[in-house]
Chains A and B, each alone.
Chain A
Amino acid sequence: MQTISDRFSFLFRSTKGLVLTAIAAISLATAFFGMLSGPMEEFGIKSWMVSNLGLSLLPQEREGRIIILYHTIAMAVVAIETYLITALVPMRKSQQASINATITGGYLTSFIFGLIFAYFGHNYVFHGLFIAGQVLIFFAGVMLTAALWPWGKQYRTSDPERARTRGGVDLERAAYFFMALATLGSALFGAVAGSMFGNGFTVFLAEDIIREPVKTPLELAVIGHLHIMLTLIAVALTLIIGQWLGFKGRLHKWAMPLMILGTLIITFGVWSIVPYQPTAHIIINVGSFPVLIAALLLVIFGWRKITNERLAELKIIKPTLIQRLRALLHDPLRFGALWQMVYMNFVVTAVGIFMAVKLDEIIRQWPAREERVALTGHWHILAGIIATIILLYYADLAGLKGRARQWFGWIVIIFSDLAFGAVSVYETKRVFVDELSQQPLVDATILLADIGLATVLTALAALMVWRLIDLFKKRGRWKQELRETSLSQTEEVAQ
């Protein structure tokens, strides 16, 4: 009994165990539900699953299923970020424990009952539990925001290397706080619209109404909600990665105010989309700029630090360019987390700006379904990049070392970027080829995307299996991780 209890404690009470559990849940959902579309559907796997596993996939309910699926996955991602934040940012242990417990109960309830409701027949009790789970997550968010309150005297800092106000308020903590506050408001933004479902407001996918000249306020709220939530997840992750890499110094002092400013402006812009749609986009673009600059400063800091640390290890005092490059690339996990942020600018930001600038001239000359493909690919890539950054950080937390660290890191970077690059070409294919000539390009890009994703998922599966085997060991890594409550590099955390 003690054996099971200890493992249970690891998986549901320790930070690394909780992150592992959530990643495993997302992996299982991705593997299972990924069979219902794309190449697996073409191979007939979907038909087999429907026939043999009791799935109920009425075509009338497809959009509802998709909405529930990505909500459940997003909730698990939010939970992962919350676990990391409560372990990285100083707060009372009791706060950490209650936040983690609440969000775990919330996301698992939403995850399990939401997916059963969506895919295995409509039992509305399960739908209620899906909603109840999200309420718990929201409540955990309220507790997290309170715990992140940056003006408490005990959390003031005198460290000259950290961004802070004259009164000693830690601006990194403030950035977390405003991100959490913005997330709560933005969750409500979607929840209020969602609560009107069935009362004249109906299920829709944002990409299906792109060209409608008039959108209702509730439709605008949902569109705003999905954009801002993904943005805030990315902001939170940037802050988390910054802490992982020990972000500090002059760049930190510039980056944190920019991150706070950008987060607040973007959030205001998105919230104002309902009453002031024409100006909202301008506000959002203005807010995006400081956030991107803050992320760039982190990348500069991080790459410089990785390089310098390695050169110091090797005792190279006057390195050549090649030696610097090798030093930068020697640790794919830390390099990769930042590289993915840079790569995002090629496959998400640049494509997005191109689409916005050339909307009427190029994109709106295509059938709406082509524009829809571009939009769907766009946010799938962004979500995918966020996932790979989390995986690279988790691989480090899980203690991957040596060759395994190299293999896992480079596989995730190269093959995910291969997939994201291929999808970028696929989604904008009409720029390069007409419909009559597109099939070879479509076949190649889909194949490359599938190879990339399948390889990354295989690497992830290997990581999960390794950790599963570890759980069966009496003195496995899990035993040591169970005792850790903080991930911070400083001792003051989580006291």
Chain B
Amino acid sequence: MKTLRVLTFLALILTLTACSAPDLPQATTPVETGVDPNAWATVPAGSFLYGQQETKQDIPYDYDIMVTPVTNAQFAAYLNQAVAGGALKIAGEQVVGYYPGDEFHGKKHEEPIEAGDWPHYPVNLKGARIAYTAGQFQPQPGYENHPVTMVTWFGAQAYCQAQNSRLPGEMEWEKAARGAQDNRAYPWGNTLERNQANYYSSRDIFEKVMGKGGETTPVGFYNGKTYDGYATLDGASPYGVYDMAGNVWQWTGDIYAGIHYRYLRGGSKADYGYNLRVWTRNNVRPDYEGPSIGFRCARGGQSTASQ
């Protein structure tokens, strides 16, 4: 019975020592992927299999979608321009901007999203990879081509509007990830290898710093290239779109009646692999800022999003 007591004691010690968090690195080694974050891919009009139950859906127009999520460098440049131009302003620890509000239906658990200034991006808050110093937004060194995170839905949709585009609707997002040829679960097929996407305990080179929950990888990182001995598999979708599985959850533009949450797709660095399946949905308040949430934009056609 003594052994049992010792084991119990050790378990208690382990619990008590679990509360110290690692320091968040302020810079990282730059990694060039060769994938252009300014590129767009065209998704042609037509039907595809939507959702886990594979219902045939039609999107009757061509549309473009960004090949990668928006990067820290892109978002920092936008913030500088938008704040200088007066579209956004800094209020305390937040970059805020006006949003005209949503229709409120008074459903259970629904919260009103009223017209007014809403947070877009935190100013120098822990986890934000864009620093605000001397009146300028600047990506932390090495994180320039990582997906921007900690951006709210309001910030994401404002960015896209500023680029004459919009957030993709859920159907648009899924078609861009899955393609129209088959019922694949991941953008490349039905199996998930550790070196094909950034997810929980996928053992990519950035996990060495932040642990299993991981760190973002540069956009387009999983493209078949080898980085300092770490060989990746190509994780592009049938339309050549990257990071549609893992790395960061991505805001979508649909607004549904009776629900104030916004939907996210794609899974992230902090999620188990099954969350990376193309139909997996997540949702959260539109003013939520998370270190595993980013976005990309779409343009053209008639959006399925009801914004």
CB contacts (< 8 Å) of A360 on chain B: these are 109, 111
Closest to A61 in B: B52
> Is the CB of B275 closer than 8 A to any CB of chain A?
yes
Query: Which of A202, A278, A366, A367 is the most central at the interface, judged by chain B CB atoms within 10 Å of its CB?
Result: A367
> Is the CB of A411 closer than 8 A to any CB of chain B?
yes
CB contacts (< 8 Å) of B48 on chain A: these are none
Q: A368-B283, A435-B290, A440-B21 are in contact. Are A59 and B274 (CB under 8 A)?
A: yes
Indicate if the CB atoms of B282 and A367 lie closer than 8 Å: yes
CB contacts (< 8 Å) of A58 on chain B: these are 185, 190
Closest to B214 in A: A439
> Is the CB of A159 closer than 8 A to any CB of chain B?
no
How many residues of B are counted as interface, with CB atoms below 8 angstroms from the partner's CB atoms? Answer: 56
> Is the CB of B146 closer than 8 A to any CB of chain A?
no
11 new A-B contacts, CB < 8 A, other than A62-B274, A213-B258, are A203-B53, A369-B271, A407-B1, A411-B4, A433-B21, A438-B213, A439-B22, A439-B212, A440-B21, A451-B11, A452-B11
> Is the CB of B211 closer than 8 A to any CB of chain A?
yes
Query: Which of A63, A203, A211, A455 is the most central at the interface, judged by chain B CB atoms within 10 Å of its CB?
Result: A211
> Is the CB of A448 closer than 8 A to any CB of chain B?
yes
Bound Cα distance from A367 to B192, whole angstroms: 24
Indicate if the CB atoms of B4 and A414 lie closer than 8 Å: yes
Q: A214-B258, A422-B15, A436-B24 are in contact. Are A367 and B53 (CB under 8 A)?
A: no
8 pairs, A vs B, C-beta closer than 8 Å: A42-B212, A58-B190, A211-B283, A213-B256, A440-B22, A440-B211, A443-B18, A444-B14
Min CB–CB distance A414 → chain B (angstroms): 6
Bound Cα distance from A203 to B8, whole angstroms: 41
> Is the CB of A441 closer than 8 A to any CB of chain B?
yes
Count class of interface residues, chain A:
35 or more
CB contacts (< 8 Å) of A407 on chain B: these are 1, 4
- Per-residue A-contact encoding for B9-20, CB less than 8 Å = 1, 0 else: 001001101111
Query: Which of A360, A406, A438, A440 is the most central at the interface, judged by chain B CB atoms within 10 Å of its CB?
Result: A440
Min CB–CB distance A310 → chain B (angstroms): 17
Closest to A403 in B: B1
Indicate if the CB atoms of A448 and B11 lie closer than 8 Å: yes
Interface residues of B in 38-68 (CB under 8 A from A): 52-54
Q: A59-B190, A60-B183, A213-B109 are in contact. Are A444 and B17 (CB under 8 A)?
A: yes
> Is the CB of B108 closer than 8 A to any CB of chain A?
yes
Bound Cα distance from A42 to B214, whole angstroms: 14
Indicate if the CB atoms of A448 and B52 lie closer than 8 Å: no
Bound Cα distance from A58 to B211, whole angstroms: 28
CB contacts (< 8 Å) of B277 on chain A: these are 59-60
Indicate if the CB atoms of B22 and A42 lie closer than 8 Å: no
CB contacts (< 8 Å) of B155 on chain A: these are none
Task: List the interface of chain A (C-beta within 8 A of B).
Answer: 42, 58-60, 62-63, 202-203, 208, 211-214, 278, 359-360, 364-369, 406-407, 410-411, 414, 418, 422, 425, 433-445, 447-448, 451-452, 455
Indicate if the CB atoms of B290 and A213 lie closer than 8 Å: no
Min CB–CB distance A276 → chain B (angstroms): 14
Min CB–CB distance B42 → chain A (angstroms): 27
Indicate if the CB atoms of B19 and A441 lie closer than 8 Å: yes
Of the candidates B18, B127, B201, the one whose C-beta lies within 8 Å of that of A444 is B18
> Is the CB of B288 closer than 8 A to any CB of chain A?
yes
Of the candidates A60, A211, A212, the one whose C-beta lies within 8 Å of that of B52 is A60
CB contacts (< 8 Å) of B1 on chain A: these are 406-407, 410
Min CB–CB distance B200 → chain A (angstroms): 9
Pairs of residues from A and B, 5 with the lowest C-beta to C-beta distance, nearest first = A444-B18, A437-B21, A59-B185, A439-B211, A367-B284
Bound Cα distance from A293 to B275, whole angstroms: 40
Bound Cα distance from A410 to B22, whole angstroms: 35
CB contacts (< 8 Å) of B19 on chain A: these are 433, 440-441
Closest to A277 in B: B108
CB contacts (< 8 Å) of B97 on chain A: these are none
CB contacts (< 8 Å) of A439 on chain B: these are 21-22, 210-213
CB contacts (< 8 Å) of A443 on chain B: these are 18, 211-212
Min CB–CB distance A428 → chain B (angstroms): 14
> Is the CB of B110 closer than 8 A to any CB of chain A?
yes
Indicate if the CB atoms of A367 and B264 lie closer than 8 Å: yes
Bound Cα distance from A60 to B274, whole angstroms: 10
Closest to B285 in A: A365
Min CB–CB distance B168 → chain A (angstroms): 19
> Is the CB of B75 closer than 8 A to any CB of chain A?
no
Interface residues of B in 246-299 (CB under 8 A from A): 249, 256-259, 261, 264, 270-271, 274-275, 277, 281-285, 288, 290-293
Closest to A442 in B: B213
Min CB–CB distance B224 → chain A (angstroms): 21
Query: Which of A433, A436, A442, A443 is the most central at the interface, judged by chain B CB atoms within 10 Å of its CB?
Result: A436
CB contacts (< 8 Å) of B212 on chain A: these are 42, 439, 442-443
CB contacts (< 8 Å) of A211 on chain B: these are 109, 259, 261, 283
Closest to B271 in A: A369
> Is the CB of B118 closer than 8 A to any CB of chain A?
no
Bound Cα distance from A208 to B282, whole angstroms: 9
Of the candidates B21, B258, B283, the one whose C-beta lies within 8 Å of that of A436 is B21
Closest to A212 in B: B259
CB contacts (< 8 Å) of B291 on chain A: these are 435-436
Of the candidates B18, B21, B210, the one whose C-beta lies within 8 Å of that of A445 is B18
Query: Which of B15, B110, B183 is the most central at the interface, judged by chain A CB atoms within 10 Å of its CB?
Result: B15
Min CB–CB distance A197 → chain B (angstroms): 11
Min CB–CB distance B161 → chain A (angstroms): 24
Min CB–CB distance B214 → chain A (angstroms): 9
Q: A59-B274, A367-B282 are in contact. Are A440 and B258 (CB under 8 A)?
A: no
CB contacts (< 8 Å) of B185 on chain A: these are 58-60
Of the candidates B4, B282, B284, the one whose C-beta lies within 8 Å of that of A410 is B4
Indicate if the CB atoms of A435 and B4 lie closer than 8 Å: no
CB contacts (< 8 Å) of A414 on chain B: these are 4, 8
Query: Which of B1, B21, B53, B258 is the most central at the interface, judged by chain A CB atoms within 10 Å of its CB?
Result: B21
> Is the CB of B173 closer than 8 A to any CB of chain A?
no
> Is the CB of B186 closer than 8 A to any CB of chain A?
yes
Min CB–CB distance B215 → chain A (angstroms): 10
Indicate if the CB atoms of B284 and A368 lie closer than 8 Å: yes
Min CB–CB distance B155 → chain A (angstroms): 16
Min CB–CB distance A57 → chain B (angstroms): 9
Of the candidates A42, A212, A367, the one whose C-beta lies within 8 Å of that of B201 is A42
CB contacts (< 8 Å) of A213 on chain B: these are 107-110, 256-259
Interface residues of B in 167-208 (CB under 8 A from A): 183, 185-186, 190, 192, 201
